[in-house]
Amino acid sequence: MDKVSPRHPRAESLRTRERLVEGFKAGLVVPAGLAAHGRGEAFDYILGEQTTKHAQRAVEAAAAMLLLAKHPVISVNGNVVALVPAEIVKLAKAANAKIEVNLFHGSVRREAAIAKCLRKHGAKEVLGAGRKFSTRIKEVHSDRRKIDQRGIGAADVVLVPLEDGDRTEALKKLGKRVIAIDLNPMSRTAQAADVTIVDNIVRALPLMVKDAKRLSHGPKTRLHDVVRDFDNEANLGAMLEFMLGRLKNLSK
Ligand code: PTJ
């Protein structure tokens, strides 16, 4: 599968793209997922394909928020599972969170394929596949309105990587705290979330796992401090400043 030369200056990005194409061929990713990935790549190019210190701060706040939650849930879609299946399972274990499949382009077959892929990577339980425990949230107008009562339905904190804006706003209206991973700091999701990690999910997830493990060994007061000291609006502003600085330097 790895046709990318290790000498290529952007080998990592091309390998990531290849994973998404493989996910598409395997029936995990929808065609729109390829377009969404391209949008992410454009923002990552501006970032210099690196995790900024602002993103690292958001990662730490996100890990602390998940650890403090009573019912944390990680929502996954086709792109997420094509890119970071093992890390999703590791994060769920580290933060004691449930995993729920939630698709923008709903399909029972794809739900099952995504759940199977996660189980192959060690997930014991994957919610959101099938209808048995599903309910609908009227605030959402896409297929994403279908949620699992035992998962997102009962959650107090939901991690929504690579999400569309409607559902993030709906989850907020339902009183949930939302953590987003989105390379576009201007997206509605990025703006509506409580903690937004502006970074590529392939870099952010391993860092989240590490932080969740590290913070889980410390005192609970430390978790509260980390969450309290995090200001999402200021962090998003800093990310935009960073991008602007990169573009200014490149234009010289
Ligand atoms: O599998 P489904 O049916 O649930 O569909 C998944 C997609 C991604 C197609 C669906 O959620 C969608 O249409 O999303 P949007 O509205 O295009 O938003 C995706 C956001 O994720 C955009 O703001 C992208 O910039 C961002 N993004 C794309 N790839 C990455 C990313 N952010 C972080 N890491 C990435 N690798």
Among the listed residues 207, 169, 206, 211, the one whose alpha carbon sits nearest the alpha carbon of residue 187 = 169
Residue nearest atom 24 in ligand 1 by C-alpha distance? 40
Residue nearest atom 25 in ligand 1 by C-alpha distance? 40
Q: Beta-carbon neighbour count of residue 119 at 10 Å?
A: 15
Task: Match domain 53-249 to its CATH number in 3.40.50.300, 3.40.50.12640, 2.60.40.10, 3.30.450.40.
Answer: 3.40.50.12640
Task: Locate the domains of the chain by residue range.
Answer: 53-249
C-alpha 165 – ligand 1 centre gap (Å): 10
Please classify residue 15 by burial: count the beta carbons closer than 10 Å to its beta carbon, then call 0-12 exposed, 13-18 middle and 19+ buried: middle
Does residue 124 contact residue 151 with C-beta atoms inside 8 Å? Answer: no
Does residue 66 contact residue 16 with C-beta atoms inside 8 Å? Answer: no
Does residue 115 contact residue 95 with C-beta atoms inside 8 Å? Answer: no
Does residue 99 contact residue 74 with C-beta atoms inside 8 Å? Answer: yes
C-alpha 220 – ligand 1 centre gap (Å): 33
For the chain, the distance separating the N- and C-terminal CA atoms, rounded to the nearest angstrom, is 39
Does residue 139 contact residue 172 with C-beta atoms inside 8 Å? Answer: no
For ligand 1, residues with CB inside 6 Å are: 30, 32-33, 36-37, 39-40, 43, 77-79, 103-105, 162-164, 181-184, 187, 200-201
C-alpha 67 – ligand 1 centre gap (Å): 25
Which amino acid would we find at residue 118? L
What pLDDT, on a 0 to 100 scale, did the predictor assign at position 6?
77
Which of the residues in the chain have pLDDT under 70?
A: 1-3, 133
Q: Write the CB contacts of 201 (distance below 8 Å, at least 6 apart in sequence).
A: 80, 83, 84, 161, 162, 181
Tell which one of 52, 75, 79, 103 to mutate to probe ligand 1, the residue whose CB is within 8 A of the most ligand atoms.
Answer: 79
Alpha carbon distance 78, 164 (integer Å): 13
Query: Where does the chain have alpha helices with state H?
Result: 11-25, 31-47, 53-68, 78-83, 85-95, 108-120, 165-173, 188-192, 201-216, 220-228, 232-251
Residue nearest atom 34 in ligand 1 by C-alpha distance? 200
User: Which of helix, strand or coil describes residue 126?
Assistant: coil
Alpha carbon distance 80, 239 (integer Å): 22
Residue nearest atom 20 in ligand 1 by C-alpha distance? 162
Q: What percent of the chain has pLDDT over 90?
A: 82
Residue nearest atom 7 in ligand 1 by C-alpha distance? 33
What pLDDT, on a 0 to 100 scale, did the predictor assign at position 2?
54
Residue nearest atom 23 in ligand 1 by C-alpha distance? 184
Alpha carbon distance 204, 198 (integer Å): 9
Helix axis angle, 85-95 to 53-68, nearest 10°: 50
C-alpha 76 – ligand 1 centre gap (Å): 11
Atom of ligand 1 nearest to the CA of 200: 34
What pLDDT, on a 0 to 100 scale, did the predictor assign at position 70?
98
Atom of ligand 1 nearest to the CA of 39: 25
The distance of Cα 74 from the centroid of its chain, to the nearest Å, equals: 8
Which residue's structure tokens are 């892929």? Answer: 117
Please classify residue 116 by burial: count the beta carbons closer than 10 Å to its beta carbon, then call 0-12 exposed, 13-18 middle and 19+ buried: middle
